[in-house]
Structures are given as C-alpha cells and as structure tokens.
Structure 1
Amino acid sequence: MDEIDFNILSELQENARLTMIELGRKVGLTSPTVTERVRRLEEQGVIKQYTTQVSAEKLGRHVTAYILMEPKDCKQYVQFAASHPDVIECHRIAGMYSYLTKVVTETVHTLEAYIDSCLTLGKPTTLIVLSSPVANSPIQPVKSTSE
C-alpha cells in the first residue's frame, strides 16, 4: 500500500458514498485508476464492506451501555448476546472479564431488563455511556517504515 491507497481509505471512511469520479478528484487520480485501486483493496480484504451509520436516538434507542460479563458458560452467553435485539457488539476480551458487550436500548428500564436476563448467565458489570466525545473515528493505516 502506498500513500494514495492510504488517502483512498481515509476518504472512503469519511464518505463511502463518494462516486469514483469524486474519489479520484480528491486523491488526484482518474476515475478508472481509482476504481482499480478500490477493487484491489476490496480483493485484498483491506476494505471489508460499506456500511451505513444509523442514529440510535432517531430510532428511539436513547441508552447505550457496555456490559462487562463473566459468564458461567461462554457459548451460552454468546448465543444469548447474538440473539438479543439490543446487543450491537460482543467482544471476547482478556482480563478479569470474558466479554465486553455493547447494548443500545430504549430506556434504563429496558437496560435493567437486559441486565436481569444476564444474571442467570453469569456476573455482569454495567457501564452506562453519558456522552461520546470521540466516536466512529476513521482507522488510520500503519505506514511501513522499512525502506
């Protein structure tokens, strides 16, 4: 990957709906050339997918929380989290807890219901998000220092 590829990734993370003409202008390439580079980045798995960021609040989900979980049975907890409509992420982590689960729900009452349902599966610890001063920042590629 070169500097142009890094610029392409930066632009697409900012706005994945750019046309290849617009993207080419932003990074100083012709439309066919930038299209080929994007295709190559997709084939290499650098670009995994294009997604839409949705406003949770506009969908009536006003509470975001992270649940640190030490389950009795990991497979059972993963199945539970994967099937619950309020769970948008679940990560296996190292340390005192086994899982970090992101829950986006309507109210503190629905969060409480989620926590109560977790109690049969293990010991949850809840962290409620008050604000997110840094969210969805683009991933900056690591540039090779070997020359």
Structure 2
Amino acid sequence: MGDHGRLPPPVRPCRSDGMTALFPSKGRCLGMFVSQTSGADAVDLAIISELSRNARVSLAELGRRVSLSRPAVAERVRRLEDSGVIKGYGVHLDLDRLGLGLRAHVSLRPRLRAARNAQSLRDRLLAMGHILSCVHVTGENCYELTLAVRDAQHLEQVIEHLSGMGDTTTGVVLSEPVQPRDVDIAAWLLQEDRDRGTRQDRP
C-alpha cells in the first residue's frame, strides 16, 4: 500500500489557528492539519478512503483498519451520512457485460428554446436512457454528455435523437485510463493536509 493508503496511529485532536492538528497518543506531531470547514478530520477521511475501496466492509473490519472500536467507527460513519458527506452507496457495473460496450462523449448546444427550459431538457435527457452523466458547462457547448450504447449504429440513433434538441459534437471513447472508482478523493485530501502541515512546521 502506498503512502496515501497508510493510516495514522490513534489520534487526539488539538486546536491550532482554526485548524485541527492531529497528534499521536504520545504527543508527537504528525504535521497533519484538517480544515474545520469540511467537518471531516483525518480519521473521517481514512474511513471514507476505506469505504471508497469497499463499501461492503464490515464495521468491525473498518474499525480495525482505522484503529477504532466498532461502536466508535459506526458513530463516525453515521455522522458522515447524517451530515451528507456520504450521500449513499452503490455498485460498479461492467457495462460491456451488459451489452453496452461503446461509450461516447457528446457536446450538446441546445437551441434557444430548449436552453431557456433547463428542467424540460433534463427530463428529455433522462427519458432517453443510455446517458451516464450530463454536466452543464461554460462555453458554446452548454452540456457535456457521456453515453453508453451497444454499437456504432446504436450511437447514431441516439445522436439523431439528441440532434432534435440542438447541435452536437461527438467523440468515441477509446479507453478509460482513469475511472471514477480509481480515484481516492480522501487520499488526496489527506496528502494535502500533510503537505500543509509540513509547510507550517518549517521555520
């Protein structure tokens, strides 16, 4: 496991200039600071990191990995859920095995009438199916869509449907070197906190 995966020893928080500095039980500084605006400390981020890798891990095993008792880790998970930091749990699907082996990104510039009614456009996109995500962005192409379809013929049919809403530009996905499930956001935040703490410790 890399540096991002190593968990700190049991910690106790102490205040330092609006941040929470984390110290091992013996009192030696880890050089790790976590912003209070996020509402999550380093132990919370370690829990999030573990759940991101395997959301079905038992509370007992999760507690062992982050050096907490089962009741303590259960309470932290509950707080993360209640606060909305953890919004839910899901599954990772193999779209190829479901017969949706072709992915594409489509830039959509809605016609003026459609652009004025974003909710109507959203409803039409959801009703189509085969749209994995849709983001509203700046620039000429207001919407960026990710599609999952069976083959090139199916993609052409979906694009024809989208063309009824506006102008489209399509790019077929060749490969996905980084997928959402590969990204450990909690590890990023932990590393940023370590780096911030190191900078603040310098004379």
> Could you tell me the TM-score, scaled by structure 2's length?
0.68
Unpaired runs of at least 5, structure 2: 1-39
Q: Is it true that 1:112 corresponds to 2:151 in the alignment?
A: no
- Which of 33, 38, 45 is matched with 2:84 structurally? 45
Counterpart of 1:26? 65
Counterpart of 1:13? 52
- Which of 140, 145, 148 is matched with 1:101 structurally? 145
Counterpart of 1:138? 184
Q: CA RMSD in A?
A: 1.6
Indicate the structure (1 or 2) with the bigger Cα radius of gyration: 2
Distance in 1 between the 2:176 and 2:70 partners? 36
Report how many aligned residue pairs link the two structures.
147
Task: Give the stretch that moved more between structures: 114-123 or 43-52.
Answer: 114-123
Distance in 1 between the 2:62 and 2:99 partners? 34
Secondary structure of 1:58's counterpart equals coil
Distance in 1 between the 2:62 and 2:135 partners? 33
Distance in 2 between the 1:16 and 1:121 partners? 38
Distance in 2 between the 1:109 and 1:133 partners? 25
Counterpart of 2:98? 59
Distance in 1 between the 2:168 and 2:157 partners? 12
- Per the TM alignment, residue 62 of structure 1 is displaced from its structure 2 partner at its CA by 0.5
Q: Is it true that 1:70 corresponds to 2:109 in the alignment?
A: yes
Distance in 1 between the 2:43 and 2:185 partners? 15
Aligned partner letter, 1:139: I
Aligned partner letter, 1:62: G
Secondary structure of 1:81's counterpart equals helix
- Per the TM alignment, residue 79 of structure 1 is displaced from its structure 2 partner at its CA by 2.2
Distance in 2 between the 1:92 and 1:36 partners? 36
- Per the TM alignment, residue 138 of structure 1 is displaced from its structure 2 partner at its CA by 2.5
Distance in 1 between the 2:127 and 2:60 partners? 41
Stretches of 4+ aligned residues off by more than 6 angstroms: none
